[in-house]
Amino acid sequence: MTTTLPDGSRVPAAVDIAAATPVEETMLPDDTARLRAAAAFVREHQSAATLLPLLLPGLHGPELRSLSAHCRFAHAGLLLFPPDPHHLRRQFADCGLDPDVPSHPSVVVRERLARRHGRDAAELNVRILRPHVHGPTGERRTVEVFALTVPAHSDLEPLAAYERVRGHEAHLAFELEHPDPLVLRGLCALLTRHGARPDGGGYNTHEDGTVLYFTTPAGTTCGYRRLELYAQGDHRDVLGTHLNESHSTHRHAETLLQLLTGAWTTQALAAFARLRLPEAMDTEVISTRELARRTGTHPESLGSLLRYLTMLDVVATGEEQQDAFRLTPLGRLLRADSHDTMRPLALMYAGPFYRSFAALDHTVRTGRPAFDHVFGENHFDHFAGDPALADMFDRSMAASARMFQPIPTHPVITAAARAGTPGTVVDVAGGNGELLGRILAAHPTLRGALLERPHAVEAARRSLDAMGCAARCDFLSGDFADVPHGGDVYVLSRVLHDWDDDRCGEILRHCARAMPVHADLLIVERLLPTDGSPSLATAWDLHMMCNVGGRERSAEHYARLLADAGLELLDRTPLPLDAHVLHARKAQVG
């Protein structure tokens, strides 16, 4: 069994940083053994000239001579976690080190531990001790020991377990013989050129010394992956540049890690919805154990999920009650009984579309939909053959229906409603009838006609019946070639992005042939930006390509398709969720 650590690596399950009980000490690297090994390393190894090539493979010749001429091997460092000061003294004595060496506060390591583990630095009393040892030719060196006292059963035990395994603070240090800012900058540049990555540092006011840490590249042969460059005095100008480079590296890595774990977010939201947790939470603050009882879930596992969802603002922790959570407005959108629920969308994106996106490389490589490759048939046929899946898809489409809110007040719709004779709105491939129902509900004088494939027509009939509009609507089963003639307003809502340009041209020509001269066409779609600005349309472009072989388009692209079908784009109006409604009519001849 293994456990995933915060940096993504895996270790034996005994090293469980989230465990509520202490980790067995015998399963972890022994502090005394680590201290003894560090002391032996310092005693046995020679100069900077022999050690630096072990840390930086490829460093040799004039550059190695320049580095070793300006700095000397000073110490090996490590972090220990004694249960009390007396225990640390015994460890020193067992390793042949002076047990009475003085200690000083560590600013740099304390801050690094606090950041790494999300702790308050004030509660981490890290001390530095530097017992002396002699090198192979008698030169004076030290073992730099950072000591954080961790009493038995302390809440710091998981931190200690993690650090013992990872050894983040273990390093080899090289001290500048004659500290000079120009020399220090040059040495930093030289180390970086040979693969050493800036990795933090700091200025210790207690000893007036500046520390610059680096992570060395893979392939080192001495057992240490971190290098410290130490300069006596205050060199915070050099340190500032070093920290900026360090933070930039970490920031990029952290950003990429967050992007790579996006799939976890999708599945966490879907699990939250599938387990009916939003409904069980209602509006109250509820303990994890009580929520687990209500939903038949495992309390500890449920707690992990809820903590993750807290980071997403889907739930929030109770202000006074420990291990308790409440539903946020964002989380309420996943309730099945919410009027504007997005639960079906969460289940679709974590279900069939999640599987198809795993084969996105197939689409990019071949130009063919990954959905067909994964499921063996196209998106529409696959859903038509599974009534439950088809229903969930229709409901997922309705989950984005807030983009429809302004459409019933569009001038074209209101003009048709005010006409002398009742106008007819034809919704082509109208899905479950959500949009047409909103239009008819807002304008009692209008009639409707909804064209859909047979499996969707009954769902649309039920939807409009629930909205009190079914009696004013004709429900037609058919394909795009069956667009009814004689309507006043034709609507294509989120239809054209399902298809390539050739098929879009056919659909628009079918509509143009059915439209009387006075009729209007409204097209609801997301529009790709032409200036590279962020847009939901860019994301949905990838989605359509992967799942149906369609695409999102710019307004200019739609204008060309309309013109080829004998239609003219008149204007476009923005809608919620980065959508637009395009207004077109038959092009004037002559």
pLDDT at 266: 94
- The answer to whether 143 touches 130, Cβ cutoff 8 Å, is yes
The order of strands in the sheet holding 324-327 is 286-287, 324-327, 315-317
Place of tokens 């004037």: 588
- Using the structure block, give the residue that is written with the tokens 């047409």: 436
Angle between helices 262-274 and 299-311 (to 10 degrees): 120
Contact (CB, 8 A) for 118 and 18:
no
Residue 584 carries which side chain, given as an amino acid letter? A
> Where in the chain are the domains?
2-259, 262-337, 400-586
> Residues near 62 by Cβ (< 8 Å), separated by ≥ 6?
none
226: amino acid identity, one letter: R
* Amino acid at position 359, single letter: A
Q: Tell me what pLDDT residue 312 has.
A: 86
Exposed / middle / buried, residue 279 (Cβ in 10 Å: 0-12, 13-18, 19+): middle
Tell me if residue 214 falls in helix, strand or coil. Answer: strand
Q: What is the DSSP letter of 292?
A: H
Kindly give the confidence (pLDDT) of every residue in the chain, 590 residues in length, as a single tens digit, with 9 standing for 90 and above: 333 333 333 333 333 333 323 333 333 458 999 999 999 999 988 788 888 888 888 888 888 888 889 999 999 999 999 999 999 999 999 999 999 999 989 888 898 899 888 888 888 999 999 999 998 888 889 999 999 999 988 888 888 888 888 888 899 999 998 888 888 998 998 898 888 888 888 888 888 899 999 988 876 767 788 899 999 999 998 988 888 877 666 667 777 888 888 899 999 999 999 999 999 997 789 999 999 999 999 999 999 999 889 888 899 887 667 789 999 989 999 999 888 889 999 999 999 999 999 999 999 999 999 999 999 998 888 988 888 888 888 778 766 777 888 999 999 999 999 887 889 999 999 988 989 999 999 999 999 999 998 878 988 999 899 999 999 999 999 999 999 999 999 999 999 999 999 999 999 999 999 999 999 999 999 999 887 777 889 999 999 999 999 999 999 999 999 999 999 999 999 998 889 999 999 998 75
C-beta separation of 214 from 196 below 8 A: yes
Half-sphere exposure of 51 (CA within 13 A, CB side): 27
pLDDT score at 1: 33
Q: Find out whether 422 and 484 touch, Cβ atoms under 8 Å.
A: no
Distance CA 77, CA 227 (A): 10
Instruction: Give the Cα separation of 91 and 461 in Å (integer).
Output: 80
The SS3 of residue 228 is: strand
User: By the 8 A CB rule, do 80 and 88 touch?
Assistant: yes
* Contact between residue 489 and residue 413 where contact means Cβ atoms under 8 Å apart: yes
Q: What is the DSSP string of 260-280?
A: HTHHHHHHHHHHHHHTTHHHH
pTM (global) more than 0.95: no
Cα distance between residue 270 and residue 449, in whole Å: 35
Gap between the Cα atoms of 80 and 586, Å rounded: 80
Look at residue 219 in the predicted model and tell me its pLDDT: 65
User: Would residue 497 show up in a list of annotated catalytic residues for this protein?
Assistant: yes
Helix H or strand E encompassing 151: none
| Pairing label, strands 424-428, 324-327 | unpaired
Question: For residue 562, how many other CB atoms are within 10 A of its CB?
Answer: 25
pLDDT at 383: 86
- Residue 191 and residue 229 in contact, taking contact as beta carbons nearer than 8 Å: yes
Contact 371, 546 (CB under 8 A): yes
Domain 262-337: CATH class, spelled out = mainly alpha
Paired tokens of 564:
């080829």
E-assigned strand segments in 149-218: 171-176, 197-204, 209-215
Local structure of 338: helix, strand or coil: coil
Q: Which two tokens stand for residue 412?
A: 């074209």
CA torsion sign, 326 to 328 to 330 to 332? positive
What's the pLDDT at 6? Answer: 31
CA-derived radius of gyration, the chain: 33
The DSSP bridge pattern shows strands 226-232 and 209-215 to be antiparallel
Output the CATH code of domain 400-586.
3.40.50.150
Q: Residue written as tokens 């637009």?
A: 580
Annotated active-site residue in 497, 543, 580, 583 = 497
Pairing of strands 226-232, 171-176: parallel
CB contact set of 123 (below 8 Å; sequence gap of 6+): none
Which of these, 282, 539, 533, 578, lies nearest to 402 by C-alpha position? 578
Torsion region of 185: left, alpha or beta (phi above 0 gives left; psi -120 to 50 gives alpha): alpha
What does DSSP assign to residue 27?
A: G
